[in-house]
Structure 1
Amino acid sequence: MATANSTPAQDPLTLLRASIAASRPPIPTSTPDASDATDVATSLSQATHLLFNNDTEHTAVSLSQSTRFISPAAGNKAIDLRSVYFCWQNRDLGAGEYINATQALNSEAGAQGTVTNLVFTERLDLVAWLKGEVGEEESEFIVSADASRATKAGARDAAATAAGGEDVEMRDAGVSDGVARQREEERLREIYKGERRMGDHNTVLRGVKVQDFSGVRKFSAAFHVKSAAAAPAAVQQQLATPALRPSIKPPAPNRRAEPIILLSPSASSLIRMPNAKTFLQEGSYTLPDTTSTTTNLLHLTRLLPSIDPQKPLRFILVDSPDQFRPDYWSRVVAVFTTGQAWQFKNYKWQAPAELFGHVLGVYVGWKGEVLPESVVGWGRGVLSVGLDKGGMRWRDREVVEEVWSGIEGRMKGLGWGREGLR
Structure 2
Amino acid sequence: MDASTQDPLLLLRQSIASGSSIRPTTSATPDASAPEANLAQATHLQFTHPSLVSIPIDAPTRFVSNEQPVDLRSIYFAWLNREVAIPEYNASATKLNEELGGAGSVHKFAFVERLDLITWLEGASEESEYIKPLAGDKGDAAGAATAIAAGAGTKTVSAGAKGGSGRGTLDPRLAQIYNGERKMGDRNSVLRGIKPTDFSHIRKLAAQFLSKKPNSQVNPSHPQSLAMNPKVARRPDPIILVSPSVSSILRMSNIKDFLEGGRFREPDSSSPSMLHITRNLKEIDPTRPTRFILVDSTDRFKPETWNHVVAVFTTGQVWQFKTYKWRDPGELFKHILGIYVGYRGMAVPEEIRGFGHRVLATSIDKPDMTRFRDREVVETIWKAIESNMRARGWRRDAAPTAI
**TM-score under structure 1 length normalisation:** 0.45
Determine which structure has more spread, i.e. the larger CA radius of gyration. 1
> Which protein has the bigger helix share?
1
Normalised to the residue count of structure 2, the TM-score between the two structures is: 0.47
